[in-house]
Amino acid sequence: MAEKKLNLLADFPAVTTEQWMEKVTADLKGADFNKKLVWKTNEGFNVMPFYRAENIENLKTTGAVPGKFPFVRGTKADNVWFVRQDIVVTDAKEANAKALDILNKGVDSIGFKLDKKDVSPAYIETLLEGIAAECVELNFSVCSRRSADLAKILTDYYKAKGYDPAKLQGSINWDGMNTMINPIRKKKMAIAAT
């Protein structure tokens, strides 16, 4: 005997928005729908507890595709993403060994978090030993005072290795807000400790 396949569209009748609202209102037992179920984002938009096809009928972006203006579904036409892992670097050789290990396991983007004292040509050369920079996205986080030094060191390193700049991907990151906020946090912690 063949199993009967469940077809939700055929087995259940269509329900109108009015019917949904009647059921929700009954379940709320007199509570205000807008106060109880509608919430507001930080930007001031109301978010409904449910949406239906009629809510998007007049939107101009429903036919948008990824990689096409107005980019409501992303700027990339394909679904290729980097798989990234960050490494807090305390020792260049250990971080290099970890990077090589995770690259062999499928990671194709690395974020090295460096201490400002470690920004030197020798340290970077040890850190990047055996890593094919044209085949992986390399990102570095360092304090703002050393970011320009790091950019120069990396530029010289890549030139010395003969890398094609057009094939290199990555970034040098520093958090300007963190630079401003950390002294405030430290001051508050010092006051709280007294």
Q: Higher model confidence: residue 169 or residue 6?
A: 169
Identify the domain containing residue 45 by its residue range.
10-56
pLDDT at 162: 96
Quick check: is 72 in a domain? no
Query: Are residue 114 and residue 31 in the same domain, yes or no?
Result: no
Quick check: is 187 in a domain? no
Q: Which pLDDT tens digit goes with each residue over 109-126?
A: 999 999 999 999 999 999
How many domains is the chain partitioned into structurally? Answer: 2
pLDDT at 91: 97
Helices (H), 15-69: 17-28, 33-36
Question: Most distant CA pair in the chain: distance in Å?
Answer: 79
**Cα–Cα dist 87/75, whole Å:** 28
The answer on pLDDT for 1 being more than 60 is: no
Query: Are residue 19 and residue 97 in the same domain, yes or no?
Result: no
Average pLDDT of the chain is 89
Residue 66 CB neighbours (<10 A): 13
Query: Are residue 150 and residue 100 in the same domain, yes or no?
Result: yes
Q: Classify residue 24 as exposed, middle or buried by CB count within 10 Å of its CB (0-12, 13-18, 19+).
A: middle
Question: pTM, whole model, 2 decimals?
Answer: 0.59
Residue 99 CB neighbours (<10 A): 23
Query: Are residue 16 and residue 99 in the same domain, yes or no?
Result: no
Quick check: is 194 in a domain? no
Query: Are residue 51 and residue 124 in the same domain, yes or no?
Result: no
Query: Are residue 91 and residue 165 in the same domain, yes or no?
Result: yes
Quick check: is 141 in a domain? yes
Quick check: is 41 in a domain? yes
Quick check: is 175 in a domain? yes
Q: Measuring CA to CA, which residue among 146, 149, 148, 114 is closest to residue 128? A: 114
Quick check: is 169 in a domain? yes
Quick check: is 75 in a domain? no
Distance of CA 82 to the CA centre of its chain: 10
